[in-house]
Amino acid sequence: MKLLLIFLTSIGIFLFSFTPNVNELSPERSFAVMQSDTLKKDKETGLVTDENLYLVKAQCTNCHNSKLILNNRFTRDGWKQKIRWMQQNHNLWDLGETEKPVLDYLEKHYGPTIASTRRAPLKNVKWYKLEQ
Ligand code: HEC
């Protein structure tokens, strides 16, 4: 009886160690995670550090904090539209020469990513009736 128990337990442990890990990330996702892990973040704002960060901090964190940037993903054009929208409605000033590097920064680090966009809808799906 004791032996049988030990036997069954070891089979259990054996099988358990082969169960695939459900939480394993798909390649694209783990790439996105890896990438975001290697990029340095600014301590104060949480924004990615690069040579244009100081401009973005100067132009974009006066009225609201950086979370509004961090929570969004837009294309370059999308970011430009947001800037125009703030200029029209919220007294955002003309960014002048800094607009280009600010957009470069936003496009590079806060553009739509694989992890933040949905896949394209499936095309040519062939539906079939389930037989009962
Ligand atoms: C003059 C003040 C001001 C400055 C400077 C400013 N914003 Fe804003 N921004 C606002 C206001 C006001 C809102 C609306 C906040 C709300 O809805 O609570 C806003 C909202 C946003 C949003 C959210 C938009 C949405 O659709 O919800 C984003 C993203 C954003 N700002 C990005 C930026 C970026 C990038 C910059 C730098 C180029 C910037 N902001 C600079 C005033 C400003």
For ligand 1, is residue 132 a contact (CB within 6 Å)? no
Query: pLDDT, tens digit, for every residue of 84-132?
Result: 999 999 999 999 999 999 999 999 999 997 666 677 788 899 988 898 7
For ligand 1, is residue 73 a contact (CB within 6 Å)? no
Higher pLDDT residue, 119 or 83?
A: 83
* CA 124 to centroid of ligand 1, rounded, Å: 41
- Taking the CA of residue 83 as reference, the ligand 1 atom at the shortest distance is 38
Distance of CA 36 to the CA centre of its chain: 8
The per-residue pLDDT for 23 is 47
For ligand 1, is residue 60 a contact (CB within 6 Å)? yes
H helices present in the chain, as ranges:
2-16, 27-38, 53-60, 67-70, 76-89, 99-110
Rounded to whole angstroms, the Cα distance separating 58 from 28 reads 33
pTM: 0.70
Is pLDDT of 70 > 90?
yes
Instruction: Provide the CATH number for the domain formed by 41-111 in this structure.
Output: 1.10.760
The per-residue pLDDT for 37 is 61
The per-residue pLDDT for 117 is 64
For ligand 1, is residue 47 a contact (CB within 6 Å)? no
The per-residue pLDDT for 26 is 54
Higher pLDDT residue, 119 or 35?
A: 119
Rounded to whole angstroms, the Cα distance separating 31 from 122 reads 24
- Taking the CA of residue 60 as reference, the ligand 1 atom at the shortest distance is 37
Nearest residue (by CA) to ligand 1, atom 41, is 60
Type of residue at 43: K
Q: Name the band, by pLDDT with cuts 50, 70 and 90, for residue 44.
A: very high
**CA 105 to each of CA 12, 29, 75, 79: distance values in angstroms, whole numbers, following the listed order:** 52, 22, 11, 10
For ligand 1, is residue 92 a contact (CB within 6 Å)? yes
Query: pLDDT, tens digit, for every residue of 5-29?
Result: 666 666 666 555 655 444 455 555 5
Is pLDDT of 56 > 90?
yes
